[in-house]
Structure 1
Amino acid sequence: MTAPRLMLLDTASLYFRAYFGVPESVKSPDGQPVNAVRGLLDFIARLVHDHRPDRLVACMDADWRPQWRVDLIPSYKTHRMVEESTEGEEEIPDSLAPQVPVIEQVLDALGIARIGVPGYEADDVIGTLTARARGPVEIVTGDRDLFQLVDDVREITVLYPLKGVGSAQRIDDAALLEKYGVSGARYAELAALRGDPSDGLPGVKGIGEKTAAQLLKEYGDLAGIRAAALDPKSRLTPARRKNLVEGSAYLDVAPKVVQVAADVPLPEVDQALPREPLDPMTLEELSARWGLGSSLERVLSVLAH
Structure 2
Amino acid sequence: MWYQAGVTDRLARAMASLLGTAVADALGDTIEHSADRHSPADHTGTEGLPAPPWRWTDDTEMACSVVHVLAVHGRLDVDALSESFVAHYDEQRNYGPGVDAMIREVGRRGASLGNLATETFGGAGSWGNGAAMRIAPLGAWYYDDPDQAAIDAEASAAITHTHREGIAGAVATAVAAAQAAAGATPADMIDAVLRRTPAGTVHDGLRDAANLADASPTEAAEKLGTGRKLSAADTVPLALWVAATHLDDYERAVRTAASVAEDVDTVCAIAGGIIAGRIGESAIPAEWRAASEPLPDWVLPT
Instruction: State the TM bucket, normalised to the shorter chain.
Output: under 0.3
Q: Which has the higher contact order (CA 8 A, sep 6+)?
A: 2
Q: Calculate the TM-score normalised by the size of structure 1.
A: 0.27
Q: Calculate the TM-score normalised by the size of structure 2.
A: 0.27
Question: Greater share of strand residues, 1 or 2?
Answer: 1
Give the number of the structure whose alpha-carbon radius of gyration is greater. 1
Question: Greater share of helix residues, 1 or 2?
Answer: 2
